[in-house]
Structure 1
């Protein structure tokens, strides 16, 4: 562990020093939950610069995507040599119910579970004039207070004030942005958190009940197998990348909501020995662990090969067999999930990988930032833009495929390396909407030995309309493996801005 921040500040020099120290110490994987608040040019971002140096030494660098979601194009740590992680839910709930006087019950969550499973009904109080728990404490005794969740630290003092004033309990409901994904807070008090939709039901019941709204809490302990899962967490930063629109970012989705873990006692605001936290900073270590597992199984694989294995074996369906959803329970896009949700078992045996080397990344930097950018990021005098081929972002040998939106056929080439059985044959399977025409050549790849490489082309044309992007996928299918790459046809990659319009 390398400390690069103190007093809520992270000096650029300290970040670079930490990355250099870790590389010199011979680490295999770097798990970094730091990043700029806004998209930053690669040659001005110490994280990106330091990560390049680490990757050039064979280190897998895994970084958080940022917590500025669901704003479009809010992704950070988006360099192609970095594995960028978005945050989703797990299939676990700390179950609690709000039992209403009309006989209905609303499912919620409560980190603090009370031993008493049922309690008497109390008056339910909500005020449109005071929606954020800002009640006169003289009016709350013996009542269950309903209010909208705001900033945790501010809300904690208000909730504690209500409980100390004699309130029978507090229900916090999500705002519309948070939707169905509830970020749990440890209040250690009589409180239940519910979704925005259920908050609307509570508000309506509190206002319409002629005999007086009543409610009670029931606690159901930890529930497993909650569906649907995963769901993209509302705070997880979204693509497309402003810096590199021709590469899909984030790369992968991993558990990042309500992660329970050991916590040093008497540090920050938690008393220990456990704490629950949410963020892409919680999702990042999950992928770092997967990368470490793959590195232990395949010590000769490059960072790009390990990234490819994780991306091309990921899941694009949830626990119900349907599409992964966003915080509003509508279909999540590739700019929410990246390639999909990590599947650890399949990642260990991907069949084929898309590999990239330092010269490929350097050629991309030459195309993007020129010789000055190369000198700043690469810091290797043997690599110069005069000798390197300039590689556009869409033409990097990335495991996801992004092409510009154009009615004329646009072709990219990719090269895959056989890391599966010595003799194997893969057949191309394309899934695409009617708006896209996708052709793959050749349609069959036959391998005769381990490490053998094969190159293929993907040609895409699309209908041009109001849509800002289309999604499809390419699957290379053999008897034992399915190697899947999202195909993204993006207006941003063709020069049209997605920032203001994407939803």
Structure 2
């Protein structure tokens, strides 16, 4: 399954690994010690697939504290956004000096087909499965399904009913990475003599199927396909039978893709709503991953894993590529390059969809889906340094918090200008929706051709008034900086615009006309230039 050549995003990179967790968890002290060790060793990028609490203040968050020191020394820190989606405001690792990565699907499906028959009427369903073992496809088994017993839990004498049958049931949880409860439940069903199981996603998971090796003759179905199967099974007579179709294969070019995975944590950022999170979307669903030879959860050398713990390393690889092309760029410049060159559309040119096949908003996608081929040539970057982040911390939390986070006596609120959230030179802009005009400023640095012109184009609902000043930025040399302002006011007359406002600033320049994109957010107005 998933045959081919396995390679990392940056296969020429050297890896150093730091153990900060055990089977009992990850203590704050070991996370900080691991970060300090990586800093001392002089790494270029830290990939941190760990997450804390979405309500942690930065001065109480060991990842935010340790990562600040890394970023201050020029090390880019990439973190998982969390696996608590699709719940709103569930994103973690939301400090602005981190790259916070959400999880998407890829265009690969591990196909496993099932056919149900009843008196000559049949329905075929294409599900997925990792395990290639399958019962002879000509063998027919009775189908067991009950609307009253939708879940897969059969106890006591109830287990006798499953023997020799294909059991159709709904998952009892959303199959977060490393969750083994579903596996034990299915083991019980198979142990009671079931011929196989059709495991249906929960409604919350929708079209996101997190694959596990549940053993032979277990096929996982999306919620939509599961609804077809259960409707058929409910309306069929007692003679309904099913069979597993023996041909299983890896299908490439699946559409729509990429889509946002159901488990991927969503914004808005609860600690600092003015700093939009997550930052970017990257592959994190059913990823072919290198795996240790033997662990509590299985054996390597490869496994199929899901989570923002898979998507974060993809971005870390892109960071390594950008860093190798531009060794002098700061972590903020590298993050800006990845965000502003991301794709706002899927492979078919349509909007990126979520797990329910609805248009995904920026709370799910961040700036968009990473485009590694373009990330090294963004044209403009929004740069920040340790002092800029320190001024932001001063405005947000004060001197005591800065001392905890920065651990640098040279950074003091008394010596630094206090930077409000809206004025932090971030690649995404969030503004309040209000009748009074609200103005923010951004400074961009030219990292493209020496002589180049950028012109802003605004796409906004009629209920908004948006002004960009100046509307055109003319650069004459590399490294030159220019500042522009964006002023937004809302008349509040459009109910739909209130619920999900869509506003974009599109860059149009002579040498990069494809740098145009749109952004949307249900939590406010997002401008991603």
| TM superposition score category, shorter chain reference | over 0.9
- For 1:394-433, list aligned pairs within 5 A: 394-433=422-461
- In 2: Cα distance, 1:137 partner to 1:126 partner: 13
- In 2: Cα distance, 1:18 partner to 1:141 partner: 51
- For 1:324-343, list aligned pairs within 5 A: 324-343=352-371
Q: Which moved more, 1:305-314 or 1:257-266?
A: 257-266
Counterpart contact for 1:409–1:461, Cα < 8 Å: yes
Counterpart contact for 1:430–1:472, Cα < 8 Å: yes
- For 1:438-453, list aligned pairs within 5 A: 438-453=466-481
CA drift at 1:120? 3.2
Distance 1:486 1:371, change over 3 A: farther
SS at match of 1:373: helix
Q: Which moved more, 1:28-37 or 1:468-477?
A: 468-477
1:124-162 CA distance string (max 9 Å, x none): 111233322233332223211111112552222232233
CA drift at 1:368? 0.2
SS at match of 2:219: strand
- In 1: Cα distance, 2:333 partner to 2:325 partner: 13
- In 2: Cα distance, 1:492 partner to 1:473 partner: 12
> What are the ranges of 5 or more consecutive residues in structure 1 without an aligned counterpart?
495-503
Task: Determine which of 447, 461, 470 is the counterpart of 2:501.
Answer: 470
Task: Determine which of 280, 294, 297 is the counterpart of 2:308.
Answer: 280
SS at match of 1:71: coil
- In 1: Cα distance, 2:375 partner to 2:338 partner: 5
Distance 1:238 1:491, change over 3 A: closer
> What are the ranges of 5 or more consecutive residues in structure 2 without an aligned counterpart?
1-16, 174-178
- For 1:46-57, list aligned pairs within 5 A: 46-57=62-73
Q: CA RMSD in A?
A: 1.9
- In 2: Cα distance, 1:110 partner to 1:299 partner: 43
SS at match of 2:398: helix
- In 2: Cα distance, 1:274 partner to 1:17 partner: 29
Q: How many residues align?
A: 494
Report what 2:225 is aligned to. 198
1:351-403 CA distance string (max 9 Å, x none): 11111111111110010001111111112222221221111111111111111
SS at match of 1:309: helix
- In 2: Cα distance, 1:480 partner to 1:268 partner: 53
Q: Which moved more, 1:213-222 or 1:244-253?
A: 213-222
Counterpart contact for 2:344–2:519, Cα < 8 Å: no
Counterpart contact for 2:466–2:486, Cα < 8 Å: yes
Q: Which moved more, 1:375-384 or 1:227-236?
A: 375-384
CA drift at 1:492? 6.9
Task: Determine which of 125, 143, 148 is the counterpart of 2:170.
Answer: 148
Report what 2:391 is aligned to. 363
Report what 1:37 is aligned to. 53
Q: Which moved more, 1:124-133 or 1:272-281?
A: 124-133
Report what 2:9 is aligned to. none
Distance 1:242 1:344, change over 3 A: same
Counterpart contact for 2:344–2:517, Cα < 8 Å: no
CA drift at 1:167? 1.9
Q: Which moved more, 1:212-221 or 1:322-331?
A: 212-221
- In 1: Cα distance, 2:357 partner to 2:410 partner: 51
SS at match of 1:296: helix
Distance 1:73 1:85, change over 3 A: same
After TM superposition, the score normalised by the length of structure 1 is 0.94
Matched, 1:104 2:120: no
- In 1: Cα distance, 2:238 partner to 2:37 partner: 68
Distance 1:117 1:401, change over 3 A: farther
- In 1: Cα distance, 2:459 partner to 2:76 partner: 31
After TM superposition, the score normalised by the length of structure 2 is 0.89
- In 1: Cα distance, 2:459 partner to 2:298 partner: 48
Counterpart contact for 1:29–1:62, Cα < 8 Å: yes
